[in-house]
Amino acid sequence: MKRIAMRFTWRSVLKRVVPCGLLAILLSSMTGCATPAYSANERNKMISRTWSYEGKQAVDDWDSFWMLRPPSRMTIWHVR
């Protein structure tokens, strides 16, 4: 088996190092925010508010299905 002598030149080294370095910089810049947007308390309040709203809308849908209220596209619930 013959041994092949490897000749390293600056050019051959830079052809590998520069793209790897650029890739590392690119990947590290796509990590997103370091801190969460909302605290745990704020997030829990948003989730409970959403569930409450969806529950009220389900009641509206059920009443509409059984024709307990006249048909309308508006809800009786206060929605912001």
Q: Which tokens in the block code for residue 77?
A: 């619930």
Q: Say yes or no to pLDDT of 49 above 90.
A: yes
Q: What angle do CA 13, 15, 17 make, to 5 degrees?
A: 65
pTM of the model as a whole = 0.47
- Per the domain annotation, does 47 fall within a domain? yes
pLDDT tens per residue across span 2-38: 666 667 777 777 788 888 888 888 887 776 666 678 8
Domain coverage including residue 72? 39-80
Classify residue 7: in a domain, yes or no.
Answer: no
Q: What average pLDDT does this structure show over 36-41?
A: 84
User: What domain count does the chain have?
Assistant: 1
